[in-house]
């Protein structure tokens, strides 16, 4: 006796439907099924041919078609041929449409577009981690945006926030004792963002940081004269690079990130 056959028909890859079939199959001990996936079905001829084959083999059809015309055709022809079928997506889409009071897009393959966006985001996050705090200046040449500024101007939080927007971000601390990497002067000016901050606020932030670490607040890191020196140096580097600048004083990370994205789009002014 030949193995029972299930035809999986989809207007995309058909992975979702096959996964559901495999999950259902696991509930039947020692079941021996043959699953034949028919992906990217966008024409009537393929549907007719698959239904004919399913009729001859007494097979079951499982489908995830979102184009209404193809859905209706498959159901109509399957009924005529007395071929059993299961619509995996239709009831769910109809249920969500009723719940959300909105019409579905009815576009094939959207889940894979979302997957692509997800992987771009993961790649951007890995990039931000790898090129955080000037660890490797080579990342500057491959970044979508490079953030420069003194310590505690939110470079790392901004990098991670922007990475979740699928932007590859490198950030470089500006320290008087360390020359800025040459790569900063080789990239387009608009890809670099200088972050500045009021000296008084930076002093308070650094002193709080020292206290949280259990260190004396009078250390050089939070010394006013040292901070003024660092800010002056950072201003000189930012002017030399010629890049846009944002004053992050009293700004939330989200607010600064939105300003950066506006600048990257060419519609934002420096503040």
- In 3-state terms, what secondary structure has residue 8? strand
Contact 132, 161 (CB under 8 A): no
Neighbours of 36 (CB within 10 A): 16
* 150 annotated ligand binder: yes
* 31 annotated ligand binder: no
* 156 annotated ligand binder: yes
Neighbouring residues of 170: CB distance < 8 A, sequence distance ≥ 6: 127, 128, 131, 132, 139, 140, 142, 143, 145, 146, 147, 159
* 203 annotated ligand binder: no
* 3 annotated ligand binder: no
* 151 annotated ligand binder: yes
Contact 46, 37 (CB under 8 A): no
Neighbours of 267 (CB within 10 A): 8
* 149 annotated ligand binder: yes
Residue ranges of the annotated binding site are 149-156
Residue ranges of the annotated binding site for ADP are 149-156
């Amino acid at each position: 006796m030949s193995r029972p056959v299930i035809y999986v028909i989809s207007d995309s890859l058909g992975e979702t439907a096959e996964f559901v079939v495999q999950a259902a199959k696991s509930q039947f001990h020692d079941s021996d099924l043959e699953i034949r996936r028919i992906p990217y079905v966008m024409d009537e001829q393929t549907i007719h041919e698959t239904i004919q084959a399913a009729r001859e083999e007494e097979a079951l059809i499982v489908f995830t078609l979102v184009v209404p015309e193809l859905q209706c055709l498959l159901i109509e022809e399957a009924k005529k041929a007395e071929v059993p079928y299961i619509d995996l997506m239709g009831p769910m889409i109809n249920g969500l449409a009723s719940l959300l009071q909105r019409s579905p897009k009815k576009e094939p393959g959207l889940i894979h577009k979302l997957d692509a966006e997800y992987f771009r985001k993961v790649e951007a996050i890995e990039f931000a981690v790898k090129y955080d705090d000037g660890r490797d200046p080579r990342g500057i040449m491959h970044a979508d945006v490079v953030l420069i500024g003194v310590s505690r101007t939110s470079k790392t939080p901004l990098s991670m926030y922007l990475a979740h927007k699928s932007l590859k971000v490198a950030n470089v601390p500006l320290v008087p004792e360390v020359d800025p990497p040459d790569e900063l002067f080789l990239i387009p000016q608009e890809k670099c963002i200088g972050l500045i901050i009021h000296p008084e606020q930076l002093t308070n932030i650094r002193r709080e940081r020292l206290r949280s670490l259990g260190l004396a607040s009078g250390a050089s890191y939070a010394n006013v004269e040292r901070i003024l020196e660092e800010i002056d140096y950072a201003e000189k580097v930012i002017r030399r690079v010629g890049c846009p600048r944002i004053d992050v004083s009293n700004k939330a990370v989200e607010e600064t990130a939105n300003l950066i994205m506006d600048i990257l789009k060419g519609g934002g002014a420096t503040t």
